[in-house]
């Protein structure tokens, strides 16, 4: 699973993976919901799950973890902005 990949959840919603963060050895993604591959204004944080060799995601619901991820993703964005 990687950046710019489109994933489909069990409920049929599609998300484009925008960026990732590694926290405590786990991979997390910031994703934007897409309709017909067109991004919407709905964003979500997902954790990559590997179970029996199958990749899937689960929504990040822990508020403290969400805040840590947002801080890390903002720092990544700021670092990219400085490089331009």
CA distance to 19, 45, 52, per residue, from 8 (Å): 17, 14, 19
Q: What angle do CA 23, 45, 26 make, to 5 degrees?
A: 25
The number of distinct structural domains making up the chain is: 1
* 1 occurs within a structural domain: no
In a domain, 69, yes or no: yes
Confidence tier at 75 by pLDDT (50, 70, 90): confident
Which residue range is the domain that position 78 belongs to? 6-83
Q: Convert the pLDDT of each residue in 19-55 to its tens digit.
A: 999 999 999 999 999 999 899 999 999 999 999 999 9
Would you say residue 30 lies in a domain? yes
The overall pTM is greater than 0.75: yes
Q: Is residue 41 included in any domain, yes or no?
A: yes
């Amino acid at each position: 699973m990687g950046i710019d990949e489109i994933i489909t959840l069990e409920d049929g919603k599609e998300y484009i993976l925008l960026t990732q963060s590694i926290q405590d050895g786990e991979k997390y993604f910031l994703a934007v919901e897409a309709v017909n591959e067109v991004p919407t204004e709905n964003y979500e944080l997902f954790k990559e799950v590997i179970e029996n060799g199958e990749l899937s995601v689960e929504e990040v619901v822990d508020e403290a973890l969400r805040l840590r991820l947002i801080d890390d993703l903002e720092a990544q964005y700021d670092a990219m902005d400085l490089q331009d």
